[in-house]
Structures are given as structure tokens and as C-alpha cells.
Amino acid sequence: DLVKARRFFEMSIQLDPKNREIVVPNLNGLALVSLYEGQPENALEYLSRASALEKNNSITKINTIAVRMSGSKWNEAMREAQE
């Protein structure tokens, strides 16, 4: 259930909003929920926030590429994959 998943990720972030080890994975989770809800722009916003906290996180990079590819942003996806 996407509503429950979103609530879980949001609540997890609220538990310790300054802890990157908690926030980054949960922002990735929110991004995937947004993607499944058909909101790729929201997904990219969550992933941008995650990347700002932890620039070289491989999960964030993979998810960003996946979101861009799902929205036919092939050039951006390829650029991201090469970084």
C-alpha cells in the first residue's frame, strides 16, 4: 500500500531528521513511492535532497537514473550514469 509506505518513510525521517544514515534511505523510499504514483518530478526532488546529503550514494544515483529513464529523459539518465 503506497499510502502506508509514504507514511512510514516520512515518519522515519521525522524520528531523526539530522541523521543522514536514516534520512537518505527514506528519501529514496519516498522517491520510489512517488514514481509508482506517477509523479516522477516529485521523485526527482526527493532524490535531489538525498544527493545533497550524500553525494556519492549509489542507491540514490541508481534511483535517479531509473526515474529519468522512466520519464524518457534519456540524455539526463546517461549523463547521471557516467558520473
What per-residue string of b and e applies to 8-41 under the rule 16 or more CB within 10 Å gives b? ebeebbeeeeeeeeebbbbbbbbbbbbbeeeebe
CA-to-CA distance for 74 and 47, rounded, in angstroms? 17
Confidence of residue 64 (pLDDT cuts 50, 70, 90): very high
Q: What is the pLDDT of residue 25?
A: 98
Query: Of 5, 2, 4, which Cα lies nearest the Cα of 25?
Result: 5
Q: What is the pTM of this model?
A: 0.86
